[in-house]
Structure 1
Amino acid sequence: MTDVADLAQSLREVFGRAQRALREQGGRRGLTASQTEALGYVFRDGPMTITALANRQHVRSQSMGATVGVLRERGLVTVTPDPGDGRQKVVAVTAEARELIAEGRSVRTDWLAKQLETLSPAEQRTLAAAHSILDRLFP
C-alpha cells in the first residue's frame, strides 16, 4: 500500500516543477509574479475593485494600487470609478491583455504537447487515465 503522505509530498514536488516549467515557457512578458497573478485574477474572475484584488493576493490595497498602476501603464487593464462606491476603483482587463494571455497559453500548450510526444503511447495513455483522477481531486 502506498503511504499517502509520501505520495502527497511527491506529487506536490512534481506539480511545483511542472508549474515552474510551464511558467518559464509562457514567459511573463516583463511582468513581475505579483503583476501576472493580479492580471490573471481579473482575467478569470472579471472586473473587481482594487480592494477585492488586494484581498485575493493577501496584500494591502496600497500595494495593489501600485501593481494595478503598472498594469494600467502597460495597457493591460483599465481602472474606472466603482458605480456603487465612488471611492473604489474597478479594474478590468483590456483586449491587449486578453491577447497576451491567449498567446502565453498557446505557447505553454504547444511546449507541453511537444513534451508529451516524447512519451511512449502507453505512457500517454497512463497520463490520460491519471488526468481523470487528478480532475476529481482538483475540480
Structure 2
Amino acid sequence: MMSPYDQQAAQAAALAQDIRGLVGKLRRRLREQADVGDLTPSQTAVLLRLEKDGPTTTSSLARAEGMRPQSMGTVIVALESAGLVQGTPDPKDGRQTILSLTDTCRQLIREGRAARQDWLLRTIQARLSPQEQDVLTAAVALLERIVDD
C-alpha cells in the first residue's frame, strides 16, 4: 500500500503530465488560429525576439538564439525576402546592419494575436458556463504561481 506521501507525489506527477499535455495542445490550437504561413520555428523565434528586444544585428540574433552566424544569415535572408524584416546600416559601424521588423510584419503579429484572442474568448464563452469560467479563473491564478519567480 502507498503511503499518503507517495500517493500525493504520484498525483502531482500525473497532474504535471496532464498540464504539460494540455498546454501543448492549447499552443497548437492557438497557432492554428493565426496563419503564420510557412515560417520555420527559427524564423518565428527571430521575429519574436526582434519584437521583444528591438532592432539588432545578425550576430547578436545568432548568439541569442544559439545559432551560427551563417545559419542566422540564411534565416534573415528568408525573412527579408518575405518582407518581414528590414536592415539599415548601423550609424556607429557602417559594416554592420541593424535588423528590425517591417510595418507589415508588425501588422501581421497584431492580427495574429487578435485572431488567437478572439478564438479563445469565443471558445471559453461557448463551452464553459459562468461557474466553470470562475473555476478557470482560479486555475489560471494557480498556474501563474507555478510559472512566476
Size of the alignment, in residue pairs?
139
Tell me, in whole angstroms, the C-alpha distance in 2 between the residues paired with 1:13 and 1:127: 17
TM superposition score normalised by structure 2 = 0.83
Q: For residue 132 of structure 1, what is the amino acid of its counterpart? A: A
Counterpart position of 2:105? 97
Counterpart position of 1:52? 60
Is 1:8 aligned to residue 16 of structure 2? yes
Tell me, in whole angstroms, the C-alpha distance in 1 between the residues paired with 2:34 and 2:58: 26
Tell me, in whole angstroms, the C-alpha distance in 1 between the residues paired with 2:146 and 2:73: 35
Q: List 4+ stretches of structure 1 deviating above 6 A.
A: none
Deviation at 1:86, TM superposition (A): 4.1
Tell me, in whole angstroms, the C-alpha distance in 2 between the residues paired with 1:15 and 1:41: 22
Matches within 5 A, 1:32-111: 32-111=40-119
Q: CA RMSD in A?
A: 1.8
Tell me, in whole angstroms, the C-alpha distance in 1 between the residues paired with 2:82 and 2:76: 10
Unpaired runs of at least 5, structure 2: 1-7
Q: What do residues 15-56 of structure 1 show as CA deviations (whole Å, max 9, x unaligned)? A: 111111111111212322221221111011211221221223
Q: For residue 130 of structure 1, what is the amino acid of its counterpart? A: A
Instruction: Tell me: CA distance 1:63–1:120, structure 2 relative to 1, closer, same or farther (3 Å).
Output: same
> Structure 1 stretch 37-46 or stretch 129-138: which is displaced more?
129-138
TM superposition score normalised by structure 1 = 0.88
1:128 aligned residue (137, 141, 146): 137
Tell me, in whole angstroms, the C-alpha distance in 2 between the residues paired with 1:52 and 1:30: 24
Tell me, in whole angstroms, the C-alpha distance in 2 between the residues paired with 1:104 and 1:8: 29
From the two aligned structures, give the one with the greater strand fraction: 1
